[in-house]
């Protein structure tokens, strides 16, 4: 997802909290989100991407094994995910096409 899409989704979530609690300030709505343990959209997307990539790395599929080199570079030691998922998929497709050329 692009940053614009993430900001748009975050705006929608904050707007919902503004309506639910009948507040007009964004800071107040963000505090309400924290009190109800509602995470920001970027945090949710980051956790989901990290979970996906970790499960992908554990897979025994030949496709997953071919992309493991890029996957290791994509995941840092702190568990934060860099780049977008589409970048990861594109890089994997590149490695796969290169692998198939060598095998043939």
81 by DSSP, 3-state: which? strand
Contact 10, 40 (CB under 8 A): yes
What is the model's pLDDT at position 101? 45
Share of the chain above pLDDT 90, in %: 28
The answer to whether the predicted template modeling score (pTM) of the entire model surpasses 0.75 is no
pLDDT for 24-67, tens place per residue?
999 999 999 999 999 888 888 888 887 887 787 777 777 776 66
Give me the chain's average pLDDT, please. Answer: 75
How many Cβ atoms are within 10 Å of 20's Cβ, its own excluded? 11
pLDDT of 100 strictly over 70: no
Pair 89, 97: CB distance under 8 Å: no
Residue 13 has pLDDT above 80, yes or no: yes
């Amino acid at each position: 997802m692009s940053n614009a899409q993430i900001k748009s989704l975050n705006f929608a979530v904050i707007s919902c909290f503004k309506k639910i609690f009948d507040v007009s300030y964004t800071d107040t709505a963000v505090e309400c989100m924290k009190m109800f343990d509602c995470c920001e959209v970027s945090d949710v997307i980051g956790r989901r991407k990290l979970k996906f990539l970790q499960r992908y790395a554990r897979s025994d599929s030949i496709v997953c094994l071919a992309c493991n080199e890029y996957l290791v570079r994509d995941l840092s030691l702190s568990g934060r995910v860099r780049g977008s998922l589409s970048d990861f998929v594109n890089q994997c497709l590149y490695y796969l096409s290169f692998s198939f050329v060598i095998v043939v």
